[in-house]
């Protein structure tokens, strides 16, 4: 037998604002910005309101906005510290044969299956980061889009109000954007966002047929999807029509020319695998090697711009290119070297190996 308890709580980064009669917790009007995604806030976490009541997270929309399970009951309070408490919702009660159910499946703490499965196809974090070198400005971060699902007319069931995509992997609440391609839309849909109703959700009435791993219905809003109320489909559309999720976005943090972390700004939706994340390359430092004041052969050093010198450190990797002219004697174009930051301002040398390697 084991004993467990609820996490005693930790204060989230930045300030947040509670608004009376509103279920949205938003970034504070002043002070440090909130970072709900970076802080690892999850569906099912409990937040302590300024009214000292507990509110359970049902959706993490972005770094600066999330939804809780009910409207805030207290007076509007701006720029508040938020305490988050994590419930042991992933604990599983098992039988001797290893089968069993999680506390969420059993309904303990009142966490619904929709809340448990929400966000499983969003981008939650960026793992190992290639820090780069010599970045003078914060590089742009590009996150690859989620896959596009092309929907044949035969994959639209007007009898069941369902769409067929083999092994789609969507959960109830997954956001999908519908595009009709080069033809007419599915009757009942327009080119806008819809939310998946997957097999784990019961029908609110008779709005859709049986759902499987290969079929799903669509709600006109997240609330309708979670309630099991589907959009009626009375036409099959066009062969080039597609569904695609939102593309996640991210921002980099720069510390002395190197990327220290990447934070998710918007989580996206309908990802089936980790997307490729790329950083913009640092700006090129151009040197006129024919100028003896820029290429100081006697000292084996180059004179660089102060902006470049200010963001580098000895050992930073760089690639030398001759720019289509004659390479500096001793260097090979399109070859990697390591910077040696001179004791003289704005001067650098190059080494073929990094010190200590």
pLDDT digits (tens, 9 = 90+) for 159-183: 999 999 999 989 898 999 999 998 8
Strand pairing report for 24-27 and 83-85: unpaired
- For the cut 70, the answer to whether the pLDDT of residue 187 exceeds it is yes
User: What DSSP character marks residue 72?
Assistant: B
Question: pTM of this prediction?
Answer: 0.64
Is residue 233 within 8 Å of 188, Cβ to Cβ?
Answer: yes
Query: Looking at residues 206-235, what average pLDDT do you find?
Result: 94
Is residue 350 within 8 Å of 319, Cβ to Cβ?
Answer: no
pLDDT in tens, 231-287: 999 999 999 999 999 999 999 888 889 888 888 888 899 998 888 899 999 999 999
CA dihedral 260, 13, 115, 188 (to 10 degrees): -70
Query: Looking at residues 53-76, what average pLDDT do you find?
Result: 85
| Confidence category of residue 124, pLDDT binned at 50, 70, 90 | low
Vertex 7, ends 111 and 226: CA angle to 5°? Answer: 15
Q: Strand (E) positions, 151-284?
A: 156-157, 162-164, 175-179, 193-197, 215-219, 242-244, 249-255, 258-266, 277-279
| Confidence category of residue 306, pLDDT binned at 50, 70, 90 | very high
Average model confidence (pLDDT) for the chain? 85
Residue 227 and residue 204: Cα distance in Å, rounded?
A: 6
Is residue 271 within 8 Å of 119, Cβ to Cβ?
Answer: no
- For the cut 80, the answer to whether the pLDDT of residue 111 exceeds it is no
What is the model's pLDDT at position 53?
Answer: 83
What is the model's pLDDT at position 318?
Answer: 94
CA dihedral 175, 242, 142, 261 (to 10 degrees): 30
Residue 269 and residue 141: Cα distance in Å, rounded?
A: 18
Vertex 273, ends 66 and 233: CA angle to 5°? Answer: 70
Q: Hey, CA dihedral for 357, 127, 47, 19, is it positive or negative?
A: positive
Q: Token digits for 237?
A: 């559309």
pLDDT in tens, 199-212: 988 898 899 999 99
Can you spell out the DSSP letters for 90-125? Answer: T-EEE-TTS-EEETTTTTGGG--HHHHHTTTTS---
What is the model's pLDDT at position 190?
Answer: 97
Is residue 89 within 8 Å of 104, Cβ to Cβ?
Answer: yes
């Amino acid at each position: 037998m084991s004993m467990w308890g609820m996490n005693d709580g930790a204060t989230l980064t930045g300030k947040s604002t509670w608004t009376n009669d509103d279920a949205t917790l938003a970034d504070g009007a002043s002070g440090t910005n909130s970072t709900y995604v970076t802080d690892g806030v999850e569906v099912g976490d409990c937040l302590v309101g300024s009214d000292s009541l507990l509110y359970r997270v049902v959706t993490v929309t972005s770094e600066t906005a999330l939804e809780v399970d009910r409207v805030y009951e207290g007076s509007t309070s701006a720029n508040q510290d938020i305490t988050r408490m994590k419930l042991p919702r992933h604990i599983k009660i098992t039988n001797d044969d290893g089968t069993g159910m999680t506390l969420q499946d059993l309904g303990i703490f009142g966490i619904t299956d929709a809340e448990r499965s929400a966000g499983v196809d969003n981008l939650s974090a960026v793992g190992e980061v290639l820090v780069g070198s010599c970045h003078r400005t914060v590089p742009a971060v590009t996150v690859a889009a989620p896959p596009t699902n092309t929907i044949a007319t035969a994959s639209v069931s007007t009898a069941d109000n369902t769409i067929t995509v083999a092994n789609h992997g969507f959960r109830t609440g997954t956001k999908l954007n519908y595009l009709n391609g080069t033809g007419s839309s599915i009757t009942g849909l327009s080119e806008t966002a819809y939310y998946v109703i997957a097999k784990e959700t019961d029908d609110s009435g008779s709005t859709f047929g049986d759902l499987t791993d290969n079929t799903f219905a669509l709600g006109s809003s997240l609330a309708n999807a979670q309630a099991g109320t589907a959009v009626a489909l009375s036409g099959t559309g066009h062969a080039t029509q597609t569904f695609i999720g939102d593309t996640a976005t991210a921002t980099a943090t720069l510390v002395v020319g190197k990327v220290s972390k990447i934070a998710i700004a918007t989580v996206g939706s309908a990802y089936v695998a980790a997307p490729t994340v790329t950083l913009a390359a640092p700006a090129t430092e151009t040197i006129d090697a024919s100028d003896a004041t820029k290429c100081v052969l006697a000292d084996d050093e180059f004179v660089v711009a102060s902006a470049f010198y200010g963001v580098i450190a000895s050992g930073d990797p760089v690639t030398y290119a001759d720019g289509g002219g004659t390479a500096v004697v001793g260097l090979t174009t399109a070859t990697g070297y390591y910077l040696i930051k001179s004791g003289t301002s704005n001067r650098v040398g190059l080494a073929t190996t990094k010190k200590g390697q």
